[in-house]
Amino acid sequence: MQMPAPDAGVIARRDAIAARLSAALADPAAVITDPTETRAYECDALSAYRCPPLMVVLPSTTREVSAVLRICHEENVPVVPRGAGTSLAGGSMPTSDAVIIGLARMNAILEISAEDRLVRVQTGRTNLSVTGAVEGQGFFYAPDPSSQLACAIGGNIAMNSGGAHCLKYGVTTNNLLGATVVLMDGSVVELGGPMGEGAGLDLLGVICGSEGQLGIVTEATLRILPKPAGARPVLVAFDSPVTAGACVAAIIRSGILPVAIEFMDRPCIAATEDFCGAGYPDCEALLIIEVEGTAPEIEEQLTLIREIAEGFALLEFRESGSDEESRRIWLGRKSAFGAMGVISDYMCLDGTVPVSRLPDTLAGIGDLAAKAGLRVANVFHAGDGNMHPLILYDANKPGDLERCEALGAEILRLCVEVGGCLTGEHGVGVEKRELMGSQYAPADLEAQMAVKDVFDPGWLLNAAKVFPLAVSEARRGARRGQDAA
């Protein structure tokens, strides 16, 4: 993975920059420069790529984030925002001349309003703990990435994360009402609010999913929803992944809207059974489908879903009869990524395709994997076509990572070719930046970079991400030249 050449002048001034930052914080120890301690920040969950940062700063308030960004702006220091580091696309990987701003200490609940159905949090707060803070009042926060126990709201906003239940409730942008954003020069702006974005440009929509390219979100107002009357998942087993994909398309076409439709194929099923013993059936692919509502509504939906599934060589249709059975149905899916990590190194992709193209996309992935001589396990959010092929490889085998990267690029191009896109929720990061030309024409990329010019004229925020490296470095150099002139 190619990275830009570091700014030698910034590296030479490290001690002076660290002193300025320490003086700006209530806790001077919140600036970490010891290489042993900063090693934990050299990569995120895409651990195949790593680079030690210049230093790490752990602010506790929006005011401190503002002070840190203002100093970095004055010193011309690149900045990388970091939540919990669960990004699977290298979204929070630093460069060697960059200051990481970690938001882990900013984890407070600031306000809960059951009347307005919202919660306001600092964005270092973990996803699952938001629901934990409001469930006693009968509410929940809908977006639920698989890493929700650990991932932070700030990272969810940066990548516009979804999760298993996004089919019915939408992704982060559909549940984000407002945000406090600190710009690169230290300016603090408020976007949206209790009623969402007001009149004028939808800048809240621009920020959500911008991958830390435009500003750092320090506080967020989130929509919370009343808990449903009831919910029930079912396991549906099939004799082939392609058949399972066709069943998903048929369910969506019927007009039924489950809360979630999740897909797992045999390699993933086998790994999760060894890992957690969820009791999944012996099959080539399975779907976990969850519906909700009153008891009669649930029964009606499941009856219709079963009728549809029986037209696709159905092997088993297992309904949950208790809370414990529901937990076990979801156990394997929630454990899938950890289970696969036990048996192999892997790279998790994030291409999204129209639901109607799931069958032929799955077949195409199988063909590409066989041609590359690598194994691929599939586990993904089937209801909205957000695919997560896991390419298995051996990090200790010379050339295997490169083969994995090449296959990943082919799979993502396939997703675009069938009418989909490069990412559904993981973001572009460093993983997909060189593939952006597969989805966007040069004029499209130029328009996106023009937006970054407005928010971050010096191109200091999350450098070397999202845009092809040669293009972004040329843009950054041109901006520096303008400033110098």
The two tokens of residue 190 are: 């408020």
Q: 240, 120, 91, 247: which is closest to 180 by C-alpha?
A: 120
| Residue 225 backbone class (left: φ over 0; alpha: ψ -120 to 50; beta: rest) | beta
Pairing of strands 55-57, 99-102: parallel
Cβ(345)–Cβ(394) under 8 Å?
A: yes
Using the structure block, give the residue that is written with the tokens 């993502």: 412
pLDDT in tens, the chain (485 residues): 788 888 999 999 999 999 999 999 999 999 999 999 999 999 999 998 999 999 999 999 999 999 999 999 999 999 999 999 999 999 999 999 999 999 999 999 999 999 999 999 999 999 999 999 999 999 999 999 988 999 999 999 999 999 888 999 999 999 999 999 999 999 999 999 887 666 778 999 999 999 999 999 999 999 999 999 999 999 999 999 999 999 999 999 999 999 999 999 999 999 999 999 999 999 999 999 999 999 999 999 999 999 999 999 899 999 999 999 999 999 999 899 899 999 999 999 999 999 999 999 999 999 999 999 999 999 999 999 999 999 999 999 999 999 999 999 999 999 999 999 999 999 999 999 999 999 999 999 999 999 999 999 999 999 999 999 998 888 887 766 665 54
Which DSSP category does 434 fall into? G
User: Would you call 475 helix, strand, or coil by DSSP?
Assistant: helix
Domains of the chain: 8-102 (3.30.43.10), 109-226 (3.30.465.10), 231-337 (3.30.70.3450), 344-435 (3.30.70.2740), 441-484 (no CATH)
Using the structure block, give the residue that is written with the tokens 């809207």: 257
One-letter amino acid at 92 equals: S
**pLDDT for position 193:** 85
The two tokens of residue 396 are: 């200790």
Compute the distance between CA of residue 246 and CA of residue 233 in angstroms, rounded to an integer: 19
CB within 8 Å of 171: residues ≥ 6 apart: 143, 160, 161, 162, 163, 425
**pLDDT for position 479:** 65
**pLDDT for position 483:** 56
| H or E element, residue 95 | none
